[in-house]
Structure 1
Amino acid sequence: MDVVELHRRASEDFVRNVAAVGPDQWGDPTPCTDWDVRTLVNHVVGEERWTVPLMAGRTIEDVGDSLEGDLLGDDPASAAAHAARAAQNAITEPVLRGSSVQLSYGEEQAAEYVYQLAADHLIHGWDLAVAIGANARMDPEVVDGIAQWFKEREDLYRGGGAIGDRVNGFSDPADSLLGAFGRDPAWTPAHAAVAALGDAFGRGDVDAIMAQMTDDCVFESTSPAPDGARFEGADAVREQWQRLFDETPDALFETEESAVLGDRAVVRWRFSWREPDGSRGHVRGVDVIQLRDGKIAEKLSYVKG
C-alpha cells in the first residue's frame, strides 16, 4: 500500500473516532498521560492543519503561531473532518513529485513526512478509541505498512523522547506495533485512574487523590493490627489521608508496581518519612483496589509489618 493510501485510511479512521466522542467525554484521560481526549484530538487536528502549508512549500516560520491554541471550536467532529480532508488533498501531488518539506528538524522528503502523519493518526486513533470505549480495531493493512516503515525508526523516535519504553510480549501485529510505540494494548481508563492516584499520593495532594475516588468510596487502613480500620464515604476517607500527610514529617509514597485487570487493581508501594534524627524510615505495602466507572471505589491497604 502506498503512503498516500495509508494516510487516507488512518486519517479517516481517526475522524470516525472523533465523531464517536460523547459530549461528556472530552475531559476523559487517554493513554497519552498528559492529554485528555480534547487535547489529543486538538493535537492531531493541528498536525492536519500544518500539513497543507508545509506541503505547499511554506516553512514553520512562515506559518508562525497561527495554528496554536484551540483548533476544535464548538464542533470538534466537523473541525477534524474538514482538517483531514484538506490534508488528504494536499499530500498526493507533492508525494508523487518526490518533493521535500521543511520540518522542525530540517528538510525532509514529503513521503517520509506523510508516513509520520499516518503513524500518528493510527496510534492516536487507537488512543482515542480506547479512551472513549469505541471499537479500537486498527486496519491490518495500515498496521502492516506502518510497522514496516517504523522498524528502522523506532530507536530514533525513542532516543528523541517521542515515545515511551517498548512494551513487549505480543504476537498480534497490532499489539506489537502499539508496544513498539510504548503503548500497553491492555490499557483502559482504569489504568489512568490508578496511575493518577499513585501520582497524587506521591505529591501528597489530597484534593487530587479524592478526585480519583467515588463519593461512596471505602478505605481500609493498615492499622490498628491485625485488621486495620475501615472508613466509608469521601469525607471520612479524606480526613484520614489529610491527617496522614499533616502528621507525618516529609511523607512520601512511591509506586513500585501496579497491575490492572478489568475493575480490579493491585498496587505495590513504598511509604517513607523523616525520623527525628533525620534518617528516613519506611514500610512497603500493597493496595487491593476496586474500580467503578473509572474511579476508585475501594482501597484496601496491607503492609509488611
Structure 2
Amino acid sequence: MHRRASEEFVRQVAAVRPDQWDAPTPCADWDVRDLVNHVVGEERWTVPLLAGQTIEDVGDSLDGDLLGDDPASAAAHAARAAQNSVTEPVLTGKTVQLSYGEEQAAEYVCQLAADHLIHGWDLAVAIGAQARLDPQVVDGIAAWFKDREELYRGGGAIGDRVEGSTSAEGALLGAFGRDPGWTPGHAAVAALGAAFGRGDVDGIMAQLTSDCVFESTSPPPDGGRFVGAEAVREQWESLFGGTDEPLFETEEWFVLGDRGVVRWRFSWRDADGQRGHVRGVDVLRLRDGKVAEKLSYVKG
C-alpha cells in the first residue's frame, strides 16, 4: 500500500505546472507547494526513524523547504528512499519511535500509506488532474482506518466526517474529512467568507476575477450592478468605511460545479447604539478557482 500510494503521489507532483505551486488545496492552510513539502518531509523522516533513530536524533535537519528548485525530483528521490527503507523493519516486526512514543513499524507505514493516498487526492484535485486512487489501497486503508478515525479526529488531525458518498473512494475521503466534490472554487468561497468576516477588502478582492460582476441588494427592485474589480472594490470600501462596526457572518455555504451559494448575516451599530442586522444569500459563479459573479439577495 505504501509503495503504490507513494508512487501515485510522485506521479501527481510531476504533473504540477509552474503556475500551480501557490494554488489552494483541500487542506485549507496549505497551498500546493506546502502540501508537497509536507509529504516529502514525511518521506525524508521515514528513513532515519525506521533505521532506529529518534526524533531528537534527527532534530531540525528536515525543517523548512525540502523541494528546492526541482520539486518533482525531490519528491521522486525521497519516495524511492522511503520505499527502500520500509520492507525489512515491517517484516521483522521492528518498532519505531514517534512523537507519541514507541509504535510498530507496520502501523507507522500504514499511517504513511494513508497520508500519501489522501494527500495524493488533495494534490490531484488542486491542480485539476485526474485522481487515481488504487482500489486495493482504498480498501486496505479503509479497513485499517475504521478503528482509528475517531482517534485522528479527536487529535485534530482530520475535520468532520463528510457523509453522502456511496463509493468506497468517496466514503474514505469523507471519513478523512474531505468533500469528494471539492474544487478550487471551494477554497475561493471559504476564503471570501473569511475576508468578509474580517472586513478585509484586499482579501475579498484577492478571491475575485479581474472582470468580476457584483449585484448589490439595493436599490429595489433589482439592486445596483457593478462590473470590474475597480468598481466592485469601491462598493466594499464604501460599505466597510461608512458603516459603524460592520460584521459579516457566514451561516452556510456550498459549491456545486461552477456555482456556489452562501447564506450570510450582516450586522452594524445603529445611531442609538443598538445592533441592527439583515440576512441574505449570495449566488456565485466560479471560474478558474475565483469568484467571477456575486449576486446578492436580502430578506426584507
Q: Distance in 2 between matches of 1:171 and 1:125?
A: 21
The normalised TM-score by structure 2 is 0.99
Q: Distance in 1 between matches of 2:156 and 2:114?
A: 16
CA shift for structure 1 position 277: 3.5
2:17 is matched with which residue: 15, 18, 22? 22
Q: Kindly indicate whether residue 119 of structure 2 is the aligned counterpart of residue 124 of structure 1.
A: yes
The equivalent residue for 1:54 is 49
CA shift for structure 1 position 276: 3.2
The equivalent residue for 1:173 is 168
The equivalent residue for 1:298 is 293
Q: Kindly indicate whether residue 211 of structure 2 is the aligned counterpart of residue 211 of structure 1.
A: no
CA shift for structure 1 position 280: 1.6
The equivalent residue for 2:138 is 143
| C-alpha contact 2:8 2:132 (8 A) present in aligned 1 | no
Paired letter, 1:53:
P
Paired letter, 1:214:
T
Q: Distance in 2 between matches of 1:41 and 1:62?
A: 24
Q: Which 4+ residue blocks in structure 1 deviate beyond 3 angstroms?
A: none
Paired letter, 2:237:
Q
**3-state SS in 1 of match to 2:248:** strand
Output one character per residue of 1:71-92: Cα deviation in whole Å (capped at 9) or x when no partner. Answer: 0000000000000000001111
The equivalent residue for 2:92 is 97
Q: Distance in 1 between matches of 2:96 and 2:115?
A: 18
Q: Distance in 2 between matches of 1:93 and 1:276?
A: 73
CA shift for structure 1 position 202: 0.8
Q: Kindly indicate whether residue 74 of structure 2 is the aligned counterpart of residue 73 of structure 1.
A: no
5+ long unaligned stretches in structure 2: none
Paired letter, 2:84:
N
Query: Any residues of structure 2 matched to 1:264-279 within 5 Å, and which?
Result: 264-279=259-274
Q: Kindly indicate whether residue 222 of structure 2 is the aligned counterpart of residue 222 of structure 1.
A: no
Output one character per residue of 1:114-167: Cα deviation in whole Å (capped at 9) or x when no partner. Answer: 000000000000000000011113100000000000000001000000000000
**3-state SS in 2 of match to 1:24:** helix
CA shift for structure 1 position 295: 1.3
Query: Any residues of structure 2 matched to 1:232-271 within 5 Å, and which?
Result: 232-271=227-266
**3-state SS in 1 of match to 2:20:** coil
CA shift for structure 1 position 215: 1.0
Q: Kindly indicate whether residue 33 of structure 2 is the aligned counterpart of residue 38 of structure 1.
A: yes
Q: Distance in 2 between matches of 1:121 and 1:79?
A: 15
CA shift for structure 1 position 275: 2.4
CA RMSD of aligned residues (A): 0.8
**3-state SS in 2 of match to 1:165:** coil
CA shift for structure 1 position 27: 0.3
Q: Kindly indicate whether residue 190 of structure 2 is the aligned counterpart of residue 195 of structure 1.
A: yes
CA shift for structure 1 position 262: 1.4
**3-state SS in 2 of match to 1:171:** coil
Paired letter, 1:70:
D
